[in-house]
Structure 1
Amino acid sequence: MTIRAADEEPGSMLLQLRVSIVGSEPAIWRFLEIDPFLTLDRVHEVLQTAVGWRDSHLHSFTDTDPYVRLRPVNGHVREPRRWVPLDLLEDNDDDLPETDWTLGQVLTPESDPLFYEYDFGDGWIHRLELTGTLPRPTNAPRARLVDGARRAPLEDSGGIYGYHDLLDALADPGHEKHTDLQAWVAWTAGPWQEFDPEQLDINAVNKELALLFTAPTAPTATEHRPGSESLTQELTNRMPPGLRREFRSYLHAAGLDGPATVEADVAAAMTVPYLWLTRRIGSEGLSLTAAGWLPPAVVREAMTELNWAKDWIGKANREDQTLPVLQLRESAQRLGLIRKVKGRLVLTSAAKQLLDDPEGLWLFLARAVAHRHRHDSERDATLLLLLEVAAGKRTSWADYLDAVSFGLGALGWRTRAGAELEPNTVQALLVDSREVLLNLGIFDDRFGLEANTLKAPGQAFARAALHA
């Protein structure tokens, strides 16, 4: 068979390929239709996508079952052939570059099955068996998942036997490690897909396979502009390829293509704190005390008008000791509604235009919470929090922190020492954005001790922010 590059026009036929993880019981398998002219490095991408791995470990192909010892023929033992990525070639002079060989060259009707190993530590062995060929229909994809069963095992679960032991422990509440393993599974699987050993979404897999072979379109002059990429697309592109697939599925499930509008009365109710403060400052501005605080009368007025006094212990007349008012003022400044000039609070030009426009203020706040941050880590944390709000699946603040922590880790955020971010660090990154959500009534538990019941307007606000 003639060698052809994977980015050339596809061939006129497709291989029918059964892929199964050796030793899995019940079997984890996939049935694929795949272009024989794909080089093995592209086949690796197809297998990662079709099986559901995260492409975070080394891999290789071989034409010999790693678990079977070859027998001599006429006194000679055939040397297995092994194809590896280019960066592994230097480790063994006998290895072959996977970029130079096509699937059709190494897997033929006359050959034995091909084997694909992923993660040399856990040793996930995949048996690739050619079951037939068929003419390639017009416009057929280079690779398509036809059928299959069960999700991929969890990464780093100790190989197929370790994975089986894990499933047994999860199914037995009396197992001594049941609770610990549940927590490990929740963190390893992550917040964007629930762990279900039986789950396989063939349509979602085929959407991802199609993306593997979608040629990028030439950007227009507008698309060359910095920041022209959508916020969610920019986050997606920064994810590792394996996690990118899970993240895209979660974005779709979060309903980000849903409406991001709000009724006037709902916007007015949600923006009450910011409307009150900007109207109280007014077009003439508001003088601060000599120490730079809001006048005591204004602090008391805010606590009364915004119905915050009932939950506050103290006189509520000094801004430096009345956190809800202080945090509201600081939030309005960060969001670009007000600023301090020569001992006075004054409205920005944008705020002056929004004094009688609750819907416009609602949209302004959505855009500001997504874009106005002191550090890129705060920005990423906020966008991940907004995604969770849009999805509406979390209830406790601890759950939000766990989901955002996972996302920040996927985006590469670490401490200076290279460690994963601790919950208190993530909490600090979200202080400002969470304050906005509290002021808007999207979160109703200021102290993070009770459930936060999200309502549709809150989800719509998060969608509007992510669309901004």
Structure 2
Amino acid sequence: MTTHASQKDDGSILLQVKVSIVGADPTIWRLLELDSSLTLDEIHNVLQLAVGWRRTHLHSFTDTDPYQRLRAGNGQVPEPRRWVAQDLLDDNEEDLLESDCVLGQILTAESGPLFYEYDFGDGWIHRLELTGSVPKPPNAPRARLVDGARRAPLEDSGGIGGYLDLLDTLASPSHENHANLKAWVAWTTGPWQEFDPEQLDIDSVNNELALLFPAPETNQPITSSQTLTAELTERLPPGVRREFRSYLAAADLDQQVRVEADVAEATTAPYLWLIRRIGSDGLSLTAAGWLPPTVVREAMTALGWERDWIGKANREDQTLPVLQLRESARRLGLIRKVKGTLVITSAAKRLLDDPGGLWLFLARAVAHRHRHDSERDATLLLLLEIAAGKRTAWNDYLEAVAFGLSTLGWSTGPGAELDPRTVRGLLSNTREALLNLGMVDDRGGLETNIVTSQGQAFARVVLQS
């Protein structure tokens, strides 16, 4: 008999449920403690988190092994009950609505196992077996991962047979498809987790389950203390939030950053020199709207840029470092042009003798001053990678940012993937600011992008702002 959610289960029992993916060898399994009053739509969300899927495919529950029915083929297996989400309910009038069905009334000692199928193409079959039950202690979580082994198979890897073949190929460098499949795995897995078939982070899963079922006394989701990263996390598809939050935790963004006065003065030197040179009275531009040649030469000399520059370095339109510094200072809210004169903003006037304050001002400006939300997202993703400190090649940064932007839903057209040139364009203004601040050390092209310790500290401050 199926019990509807309206027939209240008092939730006084915790069911101990072993979940295993049928056909996996070695076994991929989870041991869960589940509140008996959870409905099957809630169990779907639990399984997605506990196993490690990304919620990108359809699913259903049945009380009969789908493989057994296929093998029988002779009418000896009874017609199964099938529970589905609302959007599949009209496909078969015999189906039941999963949100109306309570786990404790379906999975019992007498019922036999329950089966959960995810992705009707690949056909990932999960066997849910009741192994015991205990009274629920006060304030116990409604869902908790107790134990388990191995990560979920990769989405779209061709079912359990295809996934096992994939693992065999990855373990054989001489295989003709090894390089292609390794690249596919890297892109599919993404930059926020390493692909390790043996890996299972139980604490991370339980943190996500706590977010899924907040404690009754607060009835509020647990959120990150970092406003920008928390907002970014909430905009990600639910299926990748666990991976992203784990990556944030590894980056240790809660670490408090202290910037010494001499470090702040050294890193902000280009912007500090420019706003001091303009001064409170402003700086007249040439008739063509450029900085005077003497000022261009002063900048190149004072900032030590003339050593790496070929040319006279006296015309702003032909002296890229100075031109880029001026444009960057304008975008970041330090200067503006008024009737042929460069003037500093009121914020810059307050910071003329405060390098530490300027450092913090620039961190907030990098976080928030962008022409388009896609630029902002690209900047936050780049700064996360800088804070994490795991990459050195610029192309690796671009690939990581491209994955994040695609996951957030950005594209250049329907079905189009973001290419490195597009991502590089979105990051161009941020790149200039980081170069001016000395956060990265390759002004020539960022082919190798070695981040300084000050760069990591700056990225953390931006993400905490």
| Contact 2:9–2:37 (Cα < 8 Å) also in 1 | no
Q: Provide the rounded CA distance (Å) in 1 between the counterparts of 2:265 and 2:400.
A: 30
The amino acid across from 1:134 in the alignment is V
Where 1:188 maps in the other structure, the secondary structure is: helix
- CA RMSD of the aligned region, Å? 2.2
CA displacement at 1:65 relative to structure 2: 0.6
The amino acid across from 2:19 in the alignment is V
Output one character per residue of 1:68-98: Cα deviation in whole Å (capped at 9) or x when no partner: 138699x875211111100001111111110
The amino acid across from 2:424 in the alignment is Q
Q: Provide the rounded CA distance (Å) in 1 between the counterparts of 2:334 and 2:374.
A: 23
Cα distance 1:195–1:72, how it changes in 2: closer, same or farther (>3 A)?
A: closer
In structure 2, the partner of 1:169 is: 169
Output one character per residue of 1:183-218: Cα deviation in whole Å (capped at 9) or x when no partner: 111110000011111111111111111111116968
In structure 2, the partner of 1:157 is: 157
CA displacement at 1:400 relative to structure 2: 0.8
Q: Provide the rounded CA distance (Å) in 1 between the counterparts of 2:281 and 2:321.
A: 24
Match status 1:435 vs 2:432: yes
| Contact 1:62–1:83 (Cα < 8 Å) also in 2 | yes
In structure 2, the partner of 1:459 is: 456
Match status 1:201 vs 2:201: yes
In structure 2, the partner of 1:25 is: 25
Output one character per residue of 1:357-390: Cα deviation in whole Å (capped at 9) or x when no partner: 1100000000000000111111111111111111
In structure 2, the partner of 1:64 is: 64
Q: Provide the rounded CA distance (Å) in 2 between the counterparts of 1:10 and 1:28.
A: 32
Where 2:42 maps in the other structure, the secondary structure is: helix
Match status 1:238 vs 2:219: no
| Contact 1:259–1:460 (Cα < 8 Å) also in 2 | no
In structure 1, the partner of 2:182 is: 182
Where 1:68 maps in the other structure, the secondary structure is: helix
- For structure 2, list consecutive stretches of 5 or more residues without a partner in the other structure: none
Q: Provide the rounded CA distance (Å) in 2 between the counterparts of 1:118 and 1:382.
A: 35
Match status 1:133 vs 2:130: no
Q: Provide the rounded CA distance (Å) in 2 between the counterparts of 1:266 and 1:418.
A: 45
Query: Aligned to 1:364, which of 361, 365, 375?
Result: 361
User: Counterparts in 2 of 1:11-410, with a 5 A limit?
Assistant: 11-69=11-69, 77-214=77-214, 230-410=227-407
Q: Provide the rounded CA distance (Å) in 2 between the counterparts of 1:187 and 1:405.
A: 10
The amino acid across from 1:16 in the alignment is Q
| Contact 1:6–1:38 (Cα < 8 Å) also in 2 | no
Cα distance 1:8–1:392, how it changes in 2: closer, same or farther (>3 A)?
A: farther
| Contact 1:89–1:95 (Cα < 8 Å) also in 2 | yes
Aligned length: 460
The amino acid across from 2:237 in the alignment is P
TM (norm. structure 1) is: 0.94
Output one character per residue of 1:317-345: Cα deviation in whole Å (capped at 9) or x when no partner: 11111111100000000000000011111
Cα distance 1:2–1:179, how it changes in 2: closer, same or farther (>3 A)?
A: closer
Q: Provide the rounded CA distance (Å) in 1 between the counterparts of 2:7 and 2:378.
A: 37
Q: Provide the rounded CA distance (Å) in 2 between the counterparts of 1:238 and 1:215.
A: 23
CA displacement at 1:456 relative to structure 2: 2.8
Q: Provide the rounded CA distance (Å) in 2 between the counterparts of 1:54 and 1:127.
A: 19
The amino acid across from 1:447 in the alignment is G
Query: Aligned to 1:448, which of 442, 445, 448?
Result: 445
The amino acid across from 2:91 in the alignment is D
Where 2:384 maps in the other structure, the secondary structure is: helix
Q: Provide the rounded CA distance (Å) in 2 between the counterparts of 1:47 and 1:436.
A: 44
| Contact 1:3–1:37 (Cα < 8 Å) also in 2 | no
The amino acid across from 2:192 in the alignment is W
Where 1:183 maps in the other structure, the secondary structure is: helix
- For structure 1, list consecutive stretches of 5 or more residues without a partner in the other structure: none
CA displacement at 1:229 relative to structure 2: 8.6
CA displacement at 1:3 relative to structure 2: 4.7
CA displacement at 1:255 relative to structure 2: 1.0
Q: Provide the rounded CA distance (Å) in 2 between the counterparts of 1:447 and 1:142.
A: 55
Q: Which moved further from structure 2: 38-47 or 161-170? A: 161-170
| Contact 2:4–2:100 (Cα < 8 Å) also in 1 | no
TM (norm. structure 2) is: 0.95
CA displacement at 1:449 relative to structure 2: 4.6
Q: Provide the rounded CA distance (Å) in 2 between the counterparts of 1:63 and 1:50.
A: 21
The amino acid across from 2:25 in the alignment is E
Output one character per residue of 1:13-64: Cα deviation in whole Å (capped at 9) or x when no partner: 1111100011111111000111111000000000000001101110000111
| Contact 2:395–2:447 (Cα < 8 Å) also in 1 | no
Cα distance 1:52–1:129, how it changes in 2: closer, same or farther (>3 A)?
A: same
Cα distance 1:287–1:6, how it changes in 2: closer, same or farther (>3 A)?
A: farther
